[in-house]
Structure 1
Amino acid sequence: MKFIINTKKKDNLDWNLVGDNISKAFMTGRCEVIKYGKHFWIADGAQNNKSSKALIRTIKELRFDINKIIWIYGGSDGHSSFETIRAIKKYSPKIILTKSRLPKAKSPSSIVKELKNLNLDIIELTSNTSEAFKLAKSLVNTKDCIVAFGSLYIAAEFVELLKNIKPEKYTYE
């Protein structure tokens, strides 16, 4: 492995090496597509309008039928659920609202209040990602896709469920 720091001048970075290495990095929950049974799941940390639009572009590039997606959303304090979900409104989304284990996660009922002016088809409110996961599996048709988004915590918790990874404990508040 090449070192990023130039050994002659320790305070100068070799930006070519930085770029080369970053391009090789994989981040869990950044538009991560996972085949689970007969379905595809996408876990993404989109937590604002701009990142939701980027997620939509990627979904279209991957050729999923955006009108048949089951959306699972959970947000965190400090981020606007209204702005994040506004980007998908025009697709008449079917949405399950949920909550991460993260202490600063928004409750689904407070997300509903935030979204009231969007007039969305909210399928159900669930108290955790496991419940949302089970519900989405029961609703999805064979060729449909399920997208879990709203924070990296939501994305990571779905990756844990899909890949049978022991859940991470969030010990900070």
Structure 2
Amino acid sequence: MSIEYWAKGDIPPGPIKATVVPDVKRLASIIKQHKKPIMMIGPEIHRLSELIGGDILSNLINISNSIKAEITVSDSKTVRELDSRGFKDYVIAFPLEVVQKISSNKSNYDLAILIGFHYYYGWLLLNYLKHYAYKHLNTMSIDPYPQPNATWTFPLLPLSIWYKNLCQLEGELKLVS
């Protein structure tokens, strides 16, 4: 089951708007349908980890390994954490450059998963992709708040429930690999 995202004043004009997917199994099946995903991790991931008292980066590494997604990061704290865990399969790049790269027709990515960006910055990145890459790229926000410019997004949930859903998503995707 999915819910159409609608919030007055939050959606730029146009027919493309997010579908809120509250069912984690449905979200996992959507991700599994894509051949070449990319995961963009923003600097807010550390604040979210502190707020919930969990290790979100570990969950994201496991999700990335399960779906064979390329990880892109832009902040030094995430780079240090990934290096300290021995994880080397990531790219350091500015988010806007990544978005411009994957929106080109030469890109072979078919799904962009965003997490850990400030709401307004994620909104702008997804808005760019929505307008310039809608023919060959789907987008997904797995942040704890819905993003109206993504193709699919998590619903607005308390952080504890959101983290439980993220862990469940990790488990669903591990079943496949």
TM-score, normalising length from structure 1?
0.46
TM-score, normalising length from structure 2?
0.45
Larger radius of gyration: 1
